[in-house]
Structure 1
Amino acid sequence: MSTETPLTTTSYAILGLLAVRPWSTYELTRQMDRSLGRIWPRAQSKLYEEPKKLVRHGLARASAEGVGRRPRTVYSITADGRRALAEWLRRPGAGPVLESEQLLQVFFADSGTTSDTLATLDAARAWAVERNADNLTTARAYAEGRAPFPERAAQTMVVGRFLTEYYRLVAAWADWATDVVARWPEQPRDAEADPVEMAGTLRRADWSSQGPDGLSR
């Protein structure tokens, strides 16, 4: 196996898709956006290079196919690629990295107005509802047997449950935060933390030491 360019998590994501079936580069980028875009978003320009890297490593093979007058390259996984994918799966991955412009704006709300922050929270809830709409559509497709890869329903369900809980979390947090911020004066710098809400936040932060029921409190 070549070591000229190290494999990245994106490399293994592409390899995972190739383990499902062969794809052209265009199909891979669309599938990355459709099925993995919510958990591993990447720019299309980067995705077009990954299959070539996998070929250089001997983990995928490229074959030319004709579609009408326009040729295309289709990539498929090799035996070495399947072994590399299995080896990657044996190593626990890194945890999520949270990136939210809306949270950043709330964090620095004391340099703006309460109205600004309420608008941001409203947008956060709308984002959660919008993203969950796609999540719900996918879940219904699998439940009704209309999904493109029904043989992968078990794996998709587990990841889908995480996304469902995440979107619910954002929406519930936005509702709670809106109620709190609505009681602030117009200038957030003059706001004081509500002792009851502070105690509730502390209690919830201590979920890991509360036993099996900690997450439901």
Structure 2
Amino acid sequence: MSTDAPLTTTSYALLGLLGVRPWTTYELTRQMDRSLGRIWPRAQSKLYEEPKKLVRHGLARAEKETVGRRPRTVYSITPDGRRALAEWLGHPGAGPVLESEQLLQVFFADSGSTSDTLATLRAARAWAVERNADNLATARDYAAGRAAFPERAAQTMVVGRFLTEYYRLVANWADWAGHIVECWPDQPRDAEADPAEMAETLRRADWSRTPPDDCEPAPARPAPGTV
């Protein structure tokens, strides 16, 4: 195997796409954005180099083709690539990393105004609704049998449920937080925490003490802002 730069999670993400079918570099970057951009966003400039790295490692092969007068390179996975992908899947990866400018702004709301915070919360909800639109469209495509890769419905459903709950969480939290902040004075630094809401936050934070012990679906828990 090559002593080239080590493989990254992005390398394995592209290797996973090659495990589905061969792609050109352009198709890989589009598919990366379309299907993985919500869970592993990466700049296109970085993605164009990754297939070449996989080839240097012997995990993918590159074949030149001509479409009309235009040449293109098609990448496909090698047997070594499939083994490397399977090995990577055998080691649980790192958990999510939350990065939200809106949450950061709410955290430091006491240096701004209540109206600014309310605007941020409205933007957070709008973000969740916008992101969920694509998520909903994909779910409908799978339900109607017109998805691009119907044979991968089981895997897509599991990840899709996470995204569905995540976007709904953000929207419900923004609604709940909006009701709280609407009662703040004009200067957030003068706001006081509601004891009942503090107690409810503590109760919700204690959810991990009783995890489900079998394969039955865990009972749905109301999201913040719901009954």
Q: In structure 2, the residue corresponding to 1:103 is in which secondary structure?
A: helix
Contact 1:208–1:214, Cα closer than 8 Å, also in 2: no
The aligned counterpart of 1:170 is: 170
Give the Cα–Cα distance (whole angstroms) in 1 for the partners of residues 170 and 131 of structure 2. Answer: 11
Q: In structure 2, the residue corresponding to 1:178 is in which secondary structure?
A: helix
The aligned counterpart of 1:43 is: 43
The aligned counterpart of 1:69 is: 69
Cα RMSD after superposing both structures: 1.2
Give the Cα–Cα distance (whole angstroms) in 1 for the partners of residues 145 and 220 of structure 2. Answer: 32
The aligned counterpart of 1:5 is: 5
Task: Confirm whether residue 136 of structure 1 aligns to residue 136 of structure 2.
Answer: yes
Shift of residue 208, structure 1, vs aligned partner: 0.7
Shift of residue 211, structure 1, vs aligned partner: 5.0
Task: Confirm whether residue 198 of structure 1 aligns to residue 195 of structure 2.
Answer: no
Q: For 1:162, give the aligned amino acid.
A: F
Residue of structure 2 aligned with 1:216, choices 210, 215, 221: 221
The aligned counterpart of 1:126 is: 126
Give the Cα–Cα distance (whole angstroms) in 1 for the partners of residues 179 and 74 of structure 2. Answer: 53
The aligned counterpart of 1:100 is: 100
Give the Cα–Cα distance (whole angstroms) in 1 for the partners of residues 89 and 123 of structure 2. Answer: 36
Task: Confirm whether residue 84 of structure 1 aligns to residue 84 of structure 2.
Answer: yes
Count of residue pairs the alignment pairs up = 217
1:26-37 aligned at under 5 Å gives the runs 26-37=26-37
Shift of residue 4, structure 1, vs aligned partner: 2.2
The aligned counterpart of 2:115 is: 115
Q: In structure 2, the residue corresponding to 1:62 is in which secondary structure?
A: strand
> Normalised by the size of structure 1, how large is the TM-score?
0.97
1:106-125 Cα deviation digits (max 9, x unpaired): 00101110000000000100
1:141-189 Cα deviation digits (max 9, x unpaired): 0000010000000000000000000001001100110010000001001
Q: Percent identity at matched positions?
A: 84
Shift of residue 216, structure 1, vs aligned partner: 2.1
Q: In structure 1, the residue corresponding to 2:192 is in which secondary structure?
A: coil
Q: In structure 2, the residue corresponding to 1:93 is in which secondary structure?
A: coil
> Normalised by the size of structure 2, how large is the TM-score?
0.93
The aligned counterpart of 2:215 is: none
Contact 1:102–1:120, Cα closer than 8 Å, also in 2: yes
Contact 2:59–2:77, Cα closer than 8 Å, also in 1: yes
1:52-94 Cα deviation digits (max 9, x unpaired): 0000000000010101111011100000000000000000010
